[in-house]
Amino acid sequence: MSDTPNITVVAGPPGIGKTTWISQFLSAAGLGYLYPGAGAEAVDRLRIGYRFPQVSVIEEEAALALLSDLPESGRVYIELGFHIDLAMLPLNGLPCRRVAVVPPNLAESEWHSWADEVIIGNNIETPQAGRLPSLWRAPLTGQVFDPPSLDELLIELTGGAYGQVIRLKGIFELPDGQAFYVDFAEGIPGLEYTELKLPRWLEGRPSRLSSLEVVGYDLQQTMIKETLLLTCLSDEILAQYQRQYQEHYGLEGLSETKGAVA
Amino acid sequence: MKLAVMSCIHGNYEALNAVLSDIDAQKAEQIYCLGDLVGYGPDPNAVVEMIRSLAIPTCQGCWDEDIVEGLNACECSYPSQLAEQRGRIAHEWTNDVIHPEVREYLATLPMTLRKDNLCFVHGSPNSQHEYLLPSMDGFAVLERLLSADADVLFCGHTHVPYDRRLEDAALSVKVGAADNGEPLQQLQVPLKRIVNAGSVGEPRHGRPNATYVIYDTDTTQVTLREVPYDYHKTCEAIIEKGLPPIFAWRLARGVEFAERADDPSHVCER
């Protein structure tokens, strides 16, 4: 039997690279992933599910029972959002390995005190104690975006047009049927776009989940929401795009998923 | 003789004043304006009144035309759905506040102005809405220059200034059937030049500063001028007057999205 606990809990500031650190271990079979307190449309939860279909993304309601009775061969990675109070974790009673991912210039913090192991992550600014940023999430399921409009919005958002954004991540559906993961952390130059290897959705509005999360200060949430809506395609324009892409890719590849082309 | 050529003021009175002061300091003897006096900015009436009071020869820009005739853009008008929605907001706001005599004045503006071998247009000799991008195919640019019958064509519309020379241009023309043995006819075209004046009031070069050009008719020297001004005042006025705050944010960063300036091969169909 291994001395390493089967449960690894990972914490750290927003944008530090917690999900990236966890992802390196998720290629193996029989693994579980849990992101407590974040809801079904948390971007990291969706991203892990899309990128690692063999990983079991654990529902929060079932988590405590499942973790308490974890088989010896089972391994679970738990990611803690920055808004979770480490002292108040219901999981604290479980045997686990606590990993803190922290920036290189941070020598002391609550994450250091809490962790069994400290990993150096991205070189970002840590939010000041007593001034926690706010998290705003927009469920986007069914929305398909005009790509140049989405680019403009993301540049404006991350450039501070709607408040100071320290972290942004989202999963966006595009009219060619592809879904993209977009990632931004203040202090790291540029926006990172990663194509998710999902079947092209070329018939109607996608029913698979997508979402946007923005973390920052003084966020003008109403204005972000209004602008986000201006970047979404109408039914009519989406149908025009999909007709063009269906002709381009052919319809013979329709997969079992309704509306998706493999 | 020193000429000052400016374009795309877009209702930005603060920027216009700064550029006029700089033109004074440069001792330019004549000013030409390539249009887009209105749109996006908070002071369209004041800008037009200033241009009129100084009797500055001015071409009609695409925004000026839209205020006179209503929106009727080709697909090249906006780079994105978001930009189009915002353009509509700017158009409707301007349309609501513009004074009747200002609208009448905009309707009188010509598409083209000329001085000797110089031609002045907003977009291209074909249309106020067509972009002459610095990366545009040389043959297409030459065609525009020849159609304008000018050695130097001044344009705006892209909001990014440039000075492009077409040197030693030679056109080969074959007359008659391809196999009739007739030699090619060569047409030698003298040096041509296209000068984009940038934008006074809505720059797109990554800084908030206004741009315009000075052209010396004796030496043919072109000087691209970049003029700092108190853009905060314009930003405040944008918000005070109820225009979308994002216009102020973009103006302060010199990232006004203008219109579709990313396809040098597109021919405007308006």
CATH number (domain holding residue A105):
3.40.50
Please report which helix (H) or strand (E) contains residue A110, including its range: helix A110-114
Model ipTM? Answer: 0.84
* pLDDT surpassing 80 at residue B182: no
User: Is residue A62 included in any domain, yes or no?
Assistant: yes
A86 with A171, same domain?
A: no
What is the distance in angstroms between the Cα of B83 and the nearest Cα belonging to chain A? Answer: 7
pLDDT digits (tens, 9 = 90+) for B192-227: 899 999 999 999 889 999 999 999 999 999 999 999
Residues 103-122 of A with CB under 8 A from B: none
CB pairs under 8 A between A and B: 40
Is A156 found in the same domain as A114? no
Confidence of residue A125 (pLDDT cuts 50, 70, 90): confident
A162 and A111 housed in the same domain: no
Alpha helices in B98-199 (DSSP H): 100-108, 138-148
CB contact under 8 A, A156 and B85: no
* Residue B172 forms part of a structural domain: no
Asked whether the beta carbons of residue B82 and residue A227 sit closer than 8 angstroms, the reply is: yes
Q: What confidence score (pLDDT) does residue B171 get?
A: 62
**Using CB atoms, which residue from B79, B82, B245 is nearest to A231?**
B82
Contact list in A for residue B263 (CB cut-off 8 A) is none
Q: What's the CA gap between A78 and A35, in Å, rounded?
A: 6
Same domain, A74 and A150: no
Instruction: Look at residue A261 and tell me if it is in a domain.
Output: no
For residue B41, being part of any structural domain is answered with: yes
A125 touches chain B (CB under 8 A): no
pLDDT average, residue stretch A9-22: 94
Rounded to two decimals, what is the model's pTM?
0.86
Same domain, A160 and A226: yes
Q: Is residue B184 part of a domain?
A: no
| pLDDT at residue A71, rounded to an integer | 83
pLDDT in tens, A191-249: 999 999 999 999 999 999 999 999 999 999 999 999 999 999 999 999 999 999 999 88
In a domain, B187, yes or no: no
Structural domain contains residue A97: yes
Q: Is B117 on the interface with A (CB under 8 A)?
A: no
Task: Identify which of A65, A84, A82, A66 has the alpha carbon closest to the alpha carbon of residue A74.
Answer: A66
Residue A20: inside a domain, yes or no? yes
- Contact: A148, B79; criterion CB under 8 Å: yes
Residue B270 lies in a domain: no
Helical ranges in chain B per DSSP H: 13-25, 44-53, 62-69, 81-97, 100-108, 138-148, 231-240, 245-253
Say whether residue B83 is in contact with chain A using an 8 A CB cutoff: yes
A240 vs chain B: nearest CA distance in angstroms?
A: 15
pLDDT of residue B109: 97
The C-alpha of B252 sits at a distance from chain A's nearest C-alpha, in angstroms, of 11
Question: Is B268 among the domain residues?
Answer: no
Residue B137 has what pLDDT? Answer: 82
Domain extent for B100: 2-165+192-252
Query: Could you tell me if A139 and A244 lie in one domain?
Result: yes
pLDDT in tens, B19-78: 999 999 999 999 999 999 999 999 999 999 999 999 999 999 999 999 998 886 655 567
Cβ within 8 Å of residue A4, ≥6 positions away: A97
Do A147 and A246 belong together in one domain? yes
The verdict on A101 and A158 lying in the same domain is no
Domain closes at, from A120, A153, A179:
A120
How distant is the Cα of B34 from the closest Cα of chain A, in angstroms?
28
CA dist., res. B120 & res. B154, Å (int): 5
Structural domain containing residue A25: 7-120
Are B81 and A159 in contact (CB < 8 Å)? no
Contact status of B1 with chain A (Cβ, < 8 Å): no
Per-residue confidence (pLDDT) for residue A250, from 0 to 100: 76
Residues A157 and A236 in one domain: yes
* Structural domains of chain A, count: 2
Reported as a pLDDT band with limits 50, 70 and 90, residue A1 is: very low
- Alpha-carbon gap, residue B116 to B125, rounded angstroms: 16
C-alpha distances out from residue A29 to A1, A26, B227, Å = 18, 8, 62
Torsion of CA A91, A92, A97, A98, to 10 degrees: 100
Residue B61 lies in a domain: yes
Q: Give long-range contacts, CB 8 A cutoff, 24+ apart: A233-236.
A: A233/A144, A233/A145, A233/A146, A233/A175, A233/B81, A235/A205
Domain boundary among A72, A91, A120: A120
For residue A257, give the 3-state DSSP assignment: coil
Task: Say if residue A105 is in the same domain as residue A154.
Answer: no
Q: In whole angstroms, give the CA distance from residue B66 to residue B125.
A: 18
Amino acid at B134: P
Work out the minimum CA distance from A147 to partner chain B, whole angstroms.
Answer: 8
* Partners of residue B255 in chain A, C-beta under 8 Å: 155
From residue B121, alpha-carbon distances to A46, A196, A203, B109 in Å are: 52, 47, 46, 11
Q: Do A148 and B253 touch (CB under 8 A)?
A: no
Phi, psi of A79 (to 5 degrees): -105, 130
**B12 found inside a domain:** yes
Chain B contact set for A149 (CB, 8 A) = 80-83
> For B106-132, what is the mean pLDDT?
93
Please check whether residue A128 lies inside any domain of the structure. Answer: no
Residues A170, A201: one domain?
A: yes
Please state, in angstroms and rounded to a whole number, the distance separating the CA atoms of residues A195 and A179: 6
pLDDT digits (tens, 9 = 90+) for A153-199: 999 999 999 999 999 999 999 999 999 999 999 989 999 999 999 99
Q: Choose among B80, B246, B249: nearest Cβ to A149.
A: B80
DSSP-derived pairing of the beta strands B30-33 and B2-6? parallel
Which residue of chain B has the CA closest to A233?
B81
- Contact (CB, 8 A) for A167 and A14: yes
Mutate to test the interface with A, among B78, B80, B256 (most CBs of A within 10 A): B80
The domain boundary, picked from A98, A120, A142, lies at A120
Smallest CA–CA distance from B260 into chain A, residue = A148
| Cα angle value B58/B63/B66 (rounded, 5°) | 115
With contacts defined as CB-CB under 8 Å, which chain B residues touch A159?
A: 249, 253
Neighbouring residues of B13: CB distance < 8 A, sequence distance ≥ 6: B41, B42, B43, B46, B47, B50, B234
Could you tell me if A95 and A144 lie in one domain?
no
Q: Least CB-CB distance to B246: which of A146, A151, A156?
A: A156
Determine the distance from the C-alpha atom of residue B43 to the mean position of all C-alpha atoms in its chain, rounded to a whole number: 18
* Contact check, Cβ <8 Å, B82/A233: no
d(CA A186, CA B217): 50
CA distance A22 to chain B (A): 36
| CATH number of the domain where residue A202 is located | 3.30.1220.10
The percent of residues in chain A predicted with pLDDT above 70, rounded, is 92
Q: Which of A143, A151, A156 to mutate to test the interface with B (most CBs of B within 10 A)?
A: A156
Residue A56 has what pLDDT?
93
Domain count for chain B: 1
CATH of the domain at B23: 3.60.21.10
